[in-house]
Amino acid sequence: MEDVNILVVDDEDVVQEACKRTLTSQGYCVEGAMNVDEAVEKLTKQLFDVVTVDLVMPGRCGTDLIKIIREQYPSTQIIVITGYASINTAVESIKSGAFDYLSKPFTPSELILTVKKALEEKGRMPTPYASDKALPHEMIFDNIIANSSRMMEIFKLVSKVAATDTTVLIIGESGTGKELVARSIHKNSRRKDNPFVTVDCLSLTSSLLESELFGHVKGSFTGATVNKAGFFEVANHGTLFLDEIGDLNFDLQGKLLRVIQERKYTPVGGTQARETDIRLVTATNKNLKKMVETGTFREDLFYRLYVFPIFLPPLRERKEDIPLMSDHFLNKYNELNRCPRCSISEEAMQCVLAYSWPGNVRELENTIERALISADGPEIRLDDLPNGISSLHSEIAKPENIEDLKRLKKQLRDKAVEDLEKEFVINALTAHAWNVGRAASAVGMQRTNFYKLVNKYNIKLCGGDEADAGDTSP
């Protein structure tokens, strides 16, 4: 079959490039356009099978382009890209002839699936590529934002193991998204309509964790006034996800091993074993092999868990996913905090890409959320990023004399104080639902003085009470 040609029309560079990379990885020939006029020019030179159209763009809007395509290129399939606020417009676009719409933020798998459906409708679905065979189009990877080769391999592993009841061990640093992968395994399994239960082995004491896992019978200990179902019972016929499995104490490791081997457990204080039918997925950020060697983790349990390991790469090893994830988090917090639409400047993105992200995806999300709150205007700039990230933009000039040294030291001190002060204000506001009066009172400041700091750092009171901010009455 001839090449499949796709045109991506979006005025946001990050979104356009992410879509192009995702679709190119599927073997399609992909072009991009920043606006309606550029798209029309490309349409006059080449026939496209599918065109993705962002509804909101500067100048002529996406609905104008839809009308042109429907009138002049009726065989071309149209996929509308829309934000939450313009869903009604997207529905109207479908009535006008668009095939389908995607609401931002969307995942690469959602884009791939929608394009494939459009091609099937058009009768232009090509022979599956090797990647398609390993990653069926019906797979669900909710909230895993990625199109890097490393993560595509993870998706393939999930697609292979999800259809089985094999025990899975997910290994990765904190913040890499281990629970999201566990949820994807569940959602793509035959157990998807039954419970997915998460247990954090680190957050509970050993005695409490045993009761939570296995349940207890009335009178088994002080305070046990009623029978209580444990997670093995709650998750029956579904998936039980044990996070931070490396922190499970040695005694509980033995009891967990018995459940895996016999598919039976006994509630705390009980005498009768009960059967359980669960799919077990575990996760850790520790080296369990070394723990086995040091005698802190049972070797027999290790081999029961280490049947199908999935190693999640840290964010620093898949930086090509960062622009796509950054855009996803921007859209998420724009809508959540009711902030104006915002993007990331090129200089700021360069620093974001250069940073090592020891906290992985979780740290990236927190950074984008805070930068969005700090940004003064429609663009996140270097000054809106934490100092440890923004300082990567350029090396500090070396002082050539004592006056240069004094001046540089003062600049660094001032910058450090400003960063600390700004972080202090944002933390206070975040902790008190963006209410200036309550935040000021909590940190022991006059409301007027606190609000001066809000103004000094151009902090937008997204989702907060701006009337309260301006109210300086006692």
Inside any domain, residue 193: yes
Angle between helix axes 13-24 and 322-336 (nearest 10 degrees) is 130
- Do 296 and 324 sit in the same domain of this protein? no
**What is the average pLDDT across 10-23?**
88
Task: Say what the pLDDT of residue 430 is.
Answer: 78
Domain termination residue (choose one: 351, 377, 394): 394
Last-in-domain residue among 394, 414, 443: 394
- Residue 141: strand, helix, or coil: coil
CA 335-336-339 angle, to 5 degrees, is: 55
Among residues 23, 82, 78, 18, the alpha carbon closest in space to that of 51 is found at: 78
| pLDDT > 80? residue 469 | no
Looking at the fold, whether 387 and 408 belong to one and the same domain comes out as no
- List the single range of 85-99, 110-124, 195-209, 214-228 with lowest mean pLDDT: 85-99
The pLDDT of residue 416: 67
Residue 24: pLDDT band with limits 50, 70, 90: confident
Structurally, how many domains does the chain consist of? 4
Lowest-confidence range among 93-97, 175-179, 346-350? 93-97
Q: pLDDT at position 101, please?
A: 79
Residues 187 and 221 in one domain: yes
- Same domain? For 270 and 195 the reply is yes
161 CA to centre of own chain: 22
| 141 in any annotated domain | no
Of the listed ranges 83-92, 119-128, 330-339, 453-462, the one predicted with least confidence: 119-128
Single-letter code of the amino acid located at 427: N
More confident residue, 89 or 134: 89
* pLDDT mean over 372-398: 76
pLDDT band with cut points at 50, 70 and 90 for residue 419? confident
User: Is there a single domain that holds both residue 123 and residue 10?
Assistant: yes
pLDDT in tens, 320-373: 899 889 988 988 888 777 777 788 988 888 888 888 899 999 999 999 999 988
Residues 362 and 226 in one domain: no
Instruction: Tell whether 174 and 259 lie within a shared domain.
Output: yes
Kindly report the length of the chain: 474
Q: How much is the mean pLDDT over the chain?
A: 82
Which tops the pLDDT comparison, 398 or 6?
A: 6
The percent of residues in the chain predicted with pLDDT above 70, rounded, is 86
Alpha helices by DSSP H, 175-316? 178-187, 206-214, 231-234, 250-262, 288-294, 299-305
At residue 115, what are phi and psi to the nearest 5 degrees?
-65, -40
One domain for residues 324 and 409: no
- Residue 396 pLDDT exceeds 80: no
Residue 375 has pLDDT above 80, yes or no: yes
pLDDT of 130 strictly over 80: no
Residue 467 has pLDDT above 50, yes or no: no
3-state helix, strand, coil in the chain (%, to 5): 50, 15, 35
- For 421: left if phi > 0, alpha if psi spans -120 to 50, otherwise beta; the answer is alpha
84, 103 Cβ separation under 8 angstroms: yes
Q: How confident is the model at residue 305, as a pLDDT?
A: 93
Q: How confident is the model at residue 199 (pLDDT cuts 50, 70, 90)?
A: very high
The sheet with strand 308-311 has its strands ordered as 196-200, 239-243, 279-284, 168-171, 308-311
Domain co-membership, 159 together with 289 = yes
From residue 38, give the alpha-carbon distance in Å to each of 23, 31, 57, 93. 20, 11, 12, 20
Residue pair 310/157 in contact by the 8 Å Cβ criterion: yes
pTM of the model: 0.57
Average pLDDT over residues 204-228: 79
Angle at 330 between CA 93 and CA 393, to 5 degrees: 135
Across the strands, what pairs with 6? 30, 50
- CATH number for position 323: 1.10.8.60
| Rounded distance between C-alpha atoms, residue 214 and residue 252, angstroms | 11
Residues 275, 213, single domain; the answer is yes
Please give the Cα distance from 439 to 430 (Å, whole number): 8
- Residue 165 sits in the same domain as residue 227: yes
In a domain, 143, yes or no: no
Does some domain include residue 139?
no
Domain that holds residue 105: 5-134
In a domain, 142, yes or no: no
pLDDT of residue 139: 58
For residue 370, which of 280, 251, 465, 457 has the smallest C-alpha distance?
A: 457
Instruction: Return the pLDDT at 91.
Output: 64
Query: Across the strands, what pairs with 54?
Result: 81
Reply yes or no on whether the pLDDT at 127 is more than 60: no
End-to-end Cα, the chain, rounded Å: 75
Percent of the chain exceeding pLDDT 90 equals: 29
User: Domain boundary residue among 286, 311, 336?
Assistant: 311
For residue 214, the domain's CATH number is 3.40.50.300
Q: Could you tell me if 303 and 315 are in contact, meaning their C-beta atoms sit under 8 angstroms apart?
A: no
409 vs 85: which has the higher pLDDT: 409
CATH of the domain at 43: 3.40.50.2300
Across-strand partners of 50?
Answer: 6, 77
Q: What is the pLDDT of residue 78?
A: 92
Reply yes or no on whether the pLDDT at 85 is more than 90: no
* Cβ pair 81, 108 in contact under 8 A: no
Band of residue 1 on the pLDDT scale cut at 50, 70, 90:
very low
Q: What would you report as the CA-atom Rg of the chain, rounded to the nearest whole angstrom?
A: 27
Lowest mean pLDDT among 280-284, 393-397, 466-470: 466-470
d(CA 396, CA 412): 10
Please check whether residues 298 and 381 belong to one and the same domain: no
By CB neighbour count within 10 A (0-12 exposed, 13-18 middle, 19+ buried), where does 122 fall?
Answer: middle
Among 76-80, 131-135, 299-303, 403-407, which is the least confidently predicted range?
Answer: 131-135
At 36, phi and psi to the nearest 5?
-65, -45
Whole-number Å distance between alpha carbons of 182 and 280: 10
